[in-house]
Amino acid sequence: MPAAVVVIIVAETLVVGLGVAAWCLASRSLVPRRLRRAAAAAQSATDAASTAVPRWVVALVVVAAGYGATLMLMWVLGRTAHALEPAVDIPLFALARDHQVPGVWTSAWQLLTLMGNRHQTQTLVVLGAVLLGLMWWRYRRPAWVPALALGSTYLLEKYGQMVVKKAVDRGHPPTTMGTWPSGGCARLIVVYGVIALLVLALVAADQRRRAAVVAWTIVAVLATAEAYSRTYLLKHWFTDVVGGVIYGLLLLAIAAAGLGILAGSSSPRVSLGREEDEASIPTGSR
């Protein structure tokens, strides 16, 4: 395997792996005491607010605030990525271009990269909404939650990426129109991640941690593969891909927070696989 392939795979695996590790550790006892106290205070505030207004209103406010903060952060990171283009993106782009492997290797990645395209993810959103809705109904959970979670996060990713792309306006590689942040990477993380959250909500509490390890490992592997394919096939600058991963993880965190609030908790750990959590989405009306 060419050195360029190894370099890009290792770099993007580290980016995705660190992001998923940070996400999973966010609900563990390794979190500093001050952050745990802040999380407890946020949960208390959410519970207090829910006595005056419906939980879905509180969830909507939290999601809107998180979404706005995410777009601002992505704008700042996008300007930084633009500044790094000569030192980081152009050399890595040349490395990938000069070491592409013709034949089966490239053809395979041209096929695999489709899993992050809009048409494929739109199809997955529709199928996931229907099938998971039926599963939730079978388990006596609100059948509308999967459709709402998948549909809203897909739309938030799509239009947020459009806004950030225009605000940053960093240009694109000479081979494609791909720009900051990579929508393919973000879409894959958001769609597959929300599916993982919704499936884990149906897993028995004593099996949830094991199921969570499997689910998040699958999401991380797919995200790494998508990140690699977008760089290897010269569809994006390297920092575009990193931005897409960050954007996807942030939106997934927002989705988990919204679902957690609906469940009566402001912490996303409910859907990450903690054994002590009894449920992740309300079975009755609140």
pLDDT tens figures, 190-243 = 999 999 999 998 888 888 888 888 888 889 889 988 998 999 999 999 999 999
Residue 73 has pLDDT above 80, yes or no: yes
pLDDT at 213: 85
- Please give the residue that has the higher pLDDT: either 53 or 39: 53
213 and 20 in contact (C-beta within 8 Å)? Answer: no
Mean pLDDT along residues 18-41 = 55
Report the share of the chain in percent with pLDDT over 90.
44
Residue 47 has pLDDT above 70, yes or no: no
pLDDT, tens digit, 9 for 90 and up, residues 222-235: 998 899 899 999 99
Mean pLDDT of the chain: 81
pLDDT tier at 83, thresholds 50, 70, 90: very high
Domain ranges of the chain: 59-271
* pTM for this model (two decimals): 0.80
